[in-house]
Amino acid sequence: MPLAEKFDKKIEAADLPKKTKDQLHKFLDDKEITDSQFRLILERVLKEYLSTRIEACEAVGVIAAQSIGEPGTQMTMRTFHYAGVAEINVTLGLPRLIEIMDARKEPSTPTMTVYLEEEFCNDRDRAREVSWQIEAAPLHEFGDITTDMENMHVIVHLNTKVCDKRKIAPAEIMETAPRKIRDRRHYRDFEHDVNEETATIIFSPKNKESYQNLFQLAEHVRNVIVQGIDDILRVVVRKETGEYILYTEGSNIKDVFDVVGVDTTRTRTNNISEIASVLGIEAARNAIIHEAVSTLNEQGILVDVRHIMLVSDMMCMEGEVKQIGRHGIAGEKESVLSRAAFEVTVNHLLDAAVANEVDELSGVTENVIVGQPIQLGTGDVKLIAVRQHDN
Amino acid sequence: MSTKLNVLKHVMVPDHKIMSEEEVSALLSHYNITTEQLPKIFHDDPAVKTIGANVDDVIRIVRMSHTAGRAEAYRLVIKRPKK
């Protein structure tokens, strides 16, 4: 029997988090209870909830620091892990955790998990098609490249079969190859000539005096990326939980989102600054939580998410991802003494003296330094005795 | 080319909504704070651009919380400081 409507409304109106309400609903759903029993249950739940809430003036930051720091000492110093069985290497363990907290612009092993749209995710061949659009493929994979030393030419014969298989028109390659050598590789001292019918491109250096130029040109021609996204070195297609997912080595979420067939609602990267710029600060906050939790859990360390959420909230407070440390959160504190207590003490004190800075002594650290009661726990409460007038 | 990316549809992006003036003043008086004390969000943040908020607007963000199931957060839109 579903829960009576009057109980429903009372649960909804109660000052409880959604998760607790849902659990209460689920628990009471098929039970027969009277009005007074229900009142008692709700009362107890509310009481229990209030008693588990963090108390005012609790030093949550210190608790979070200890709760992440202590298990952190047990993490492996240097681990590399192959994501799943796919041979993609990702940094994990302590180095990765440091990377997240330092808000590095680029992780040491950027990688993406690309989900595919419905029409693509169930078919291996179609998933492979999407992967061709993403994986950076150099020109030498599409045909034979020969260096003609007599006439000072680099000749590319495109293999039309390979082009067909990879779903790219030879004409497109003939257009992109010279352009990319100029724009991406910044090598401009050459001329080129295309022959559409035989699918050949002939490159010749402007300076025909030296063979060095020719070989340099040949190197550029061989390695120019003509298909896919330049930053993504490798793509692995894997079937997981009933659908095909692409794992990539290298990350560029902005360009991957433009590829047809990519599910732009689920695809993610481990590059947090990229997420912040493409999806916004709130997505970056979620990404920090997700990355930190999965790094810790992978090592078999269970840290309560609340601590990580606090860290992540602090990092994303000012609208951009700030690192924990003297260039980020700790370096932007109001108090001079608090900053000086953290790192590079002398510099902070000197700069503060030059700038005629005043310390309001409103925080914790600075009051510990000067030996005053701190505003935490019982230190924050002021008691005033009101005399009772008995008549 | 696929259709233009809608960042709000991404699983990692929570719901962003511009708050009305009454809502903002109710929020500020409830916590006894000024808008300056709220967390910030830059005016060129992709989510802010999508909902079309302007500088000095307050945005209500409804997050899927790991602990509470649903949590509200607020951010003040500010101009991105020049480097």
Residue A37, domain extent: 5-52
Q: Is residue A176 part of a domain?
A: yes
Please provide the distance, in angstroms rounded to a whole number, between the alpha carbons at the two ends of chain A: 60
What pLDDT, on a 0 to 100 scale, did the predictor assign at position A350?
A: 94
Coil, strand, or helix at residue A143?
A: strand
Give the model's pLDDT for residue A210.
79
Q: Give contacts of B42 with chain A, Cβ < 8 Å.
A: 281, 319-320
DSSP category for residue B43: T
Per the domain annotation, does B6 fall within a domain? Answer: no
Looking at residue B11, what is its pLDDT?
92
In this structure, what CATH number is given to the domain that contains residue B74? 3.90.940.20
Q: Give A-chain residues touching B68 at CB under 8 angstroms.
A: 17-19
Complex confidence, ipTM: 0.93
Residue B1 lies in a domain: no
Extract the runs of DSSP E, i.e. beta strands, from chain A.
79-82, 89-92, 111-115, 137-138, 143-148, 153-158, 190-195, 200-205, 225-227, 234-240, 243-249, 268-269
The answer to whether residue B5 is domain-embedded is no
Chain mean position to CA A321: 11
Q: Do the domain assignments include residue A156?
A: yes
pTM of the predicted model as reported, rounded to 2 decimal places: 0.86
CA–CA distance, A267 with A259 (Å, rounded to integer): 12
The pLDDT > 90 percentage for chain A reads 26
Could you state, in chain order, the average pLDDT of each consecutive group of 10 residues for chain A (391 residues)? 71 87 86 86 92 88 92 75 63 88 90 90 87 88 84 84 83 83 82 81 81 84 86 88 89 90 91 93 94 90 93 92 86 87 90 92 88 85 81 60
Nearest CA in chain A to B9: A265
Report the number of distinct structural domains present in chain B.
1
The pLDDT confidence band at residue B68, using thresholds 50, 70 and 90, is: confident
B57 occurs within a structural domain: yes
Question: Is A4 within 8 Å of chain B by CB?
Answer: no
Interface check for A53 against chain B (CB to CB < 8 A): the answer is no
pLDDT number for residue A166: 83
Residue-wise pLDDT tens digits, A228-244:
888 898 898 888 888 89
Q: Does some domain include residue B67? A: yes
Interface of B with A in 36-75 (CB under 8 A): 39-42, 45-48, 61, 63, 65-71, 75
**Of A227, A247, A278, which residue constitutes the final position of a domain?**
A227
Q: Which residues of A are less than 8 Å from B71 in CB distance? A: 17
- The CATH number linked to A177 is 3.30.1360.140
Mutate to test the interface with A, among B6, B13, B56, B67 (most CBs of A within 10 A): B13
Judge whether A223 lies within some domain.
yes
What's the pLDDT tens digit per position in B9-67? 899 999 999 999 999 999 999 999 999 999 999 999 999 999 999 999 999 999 998 88
What is the pLDDT at residue A146? 85
Q: Which residues of B touch A316 (CB under 8 A)?
A: 39
Predicted pLDDT of residue B1: 40
Query: Is residue A337 assigned to a domain?
Result: yes
Domain of B38?
13-78
- What domain count does chain A have? 3
pLDDT of residue A2: 56
A190 - beta bridge partners? A205
Contact state of A309 with B9 under an 8 Å Cβ cutoff: no
> What is the CATH number for A374?
1.10.150.390
- Residue to mutate among B16, B32, B37, B45, with most A CBs inside 10 A, is B45
Question: Is the residue at A128 inside a domain?
Answer: no
CA pair distance B35, A197, nearest whole angstrom? 67
pLDDT bracket for residue B2 (50, 70, 90): very low
- Cβ-defined contact of A309 to B48 (cutoff 8 Å): no
Amino acid A380: pLDDT: 80
- Domain annotation covers residue B41: yes
Predicted pLDDT of residue A86? 57
Taking the CA of residue B32 and the nearest CA in chain A, the distance in Å comes to 15
- Assess if residue A106 is contained within a domain: no
Distance set, CA A308 to CA A332, B18, B74, B76 (Å): 20, 27, 19, 23
pLDDT (0 to 100) of residue B32: 93
